[in-house]
Structure 1
Amino acid sequence: MTHEDPAGSGQHPPTPPRRIRVTAPIVRARRAPGQPVAREIAEQSEVGQVYVRSLIRSQLRLAVVVAVGFLLILLAFPLLIAYVPGLEQAEFLGVPFSWLALGVGVYPIILLSAWLHVRAAARNEARYLDLVNDA
């Protein structure tokens, strides 16, 4: 398919410029004295990669700890109901206590876990930024 000029001048419309993707170069050198760590991270050098991996590992460790803690508390509900005598037959406003514990009592645990995770993740990131800015 050809583009034709409606005025009939025979000139083709200009072709749009080709897109160019700009990326940071990968540098495999040791950190030079006095070179900021932020630049190391942006250039994806070995030193920068160590800092980023450290942040990722600390965030992953935090997520695993919070998830395991949440699951342990969640598993404690059925165990509590099964092993505390009379708790299975207990009712509150005609609703069995076990339903309330598993259906309603879980949400405060979820909110507390989420709040603790966000707070600790922000603290990890702040430490990372301090480390990057101080180095």
Structure 2
Amino acid sequence: MSPDETPGQNSPRRVRVTAPRSQARRASPGYPVAREVAEQSEVGQVFVRSLIRSQLRLAVVVAVGFLLVLLAFPLLLAWVPGIDQATFLGVPFSWLLLGVGVYPLIGLSAWLYVRTASRNEARYLDLVEDE
């Protein structure tokens, strides 16, 4: 090594290797779906129709389930002998069953519908926001 050379002058330059940036925005090769929806193109209409169909399907399933359980109350009264004559604090049990027992069913159906509808909308937004 000559006196005017500094150590490491001929050695290759150090390169720092890191993982790819996870926060970096990916370049979108195509047309963003959100733009398709905003411009109401055919592709955007397909996405919106699929959301509407999934929400309608959910509403029908919850409504039919609610009605089936609601119809089970009169069937229960018809099949269980003596339940018509039973009273609780002077009120016929059948009235309590139909009058008070329906409200938890309504609450459960509403909670199920809102929870699943929110999940459908979140999936739709994830789909639209992915570019």
Given the alignment of the two structures, is residue 75 of structure 1 paired with residue 71 of structure 2, yes or no? yes
Task: State the match for 2:87 in structure 1.
Answer: 91
Given the alignment of the two structures, is residue 55 of structure 1 paired with residue 51 of structure 2, yes or no? yes
Amino acid at match of 2:59: A
Given the alignment of the two structures, is residue 44 of structure 1 paired with residue 40 of structure 2, yes or no? yes
Residues matched between the structures, number: 103
Deviation at 1:85, TM superposition (A): 1.3
Q: Which has the larger radius of gyration?
A: 2
TM-score, with length taken from structure 2: 0.77
Task: State the match for 1:6 in structure 2.
Answer: none
Amino acid at match of 2:70: L
Larger RCO (CA under 8 A, 6+ residues apart): 2
What does 1:1-135 align with in structure 2 at a 5 Å threshold? 33-135=29-131
**Structure 2 gap segments, 5+ residues each:** 1-28
Task: Provide runs of 4+ in structure 1 moved above 4 Å.
Answer: none
The percent identity for this pair of structures is 83
TM-score, with length taken from structure 1: 0.74
Deviation at 1:72, TM superposition (A): 0.3
**Structure 1 gap segments, 5+ residues each:** 1-32
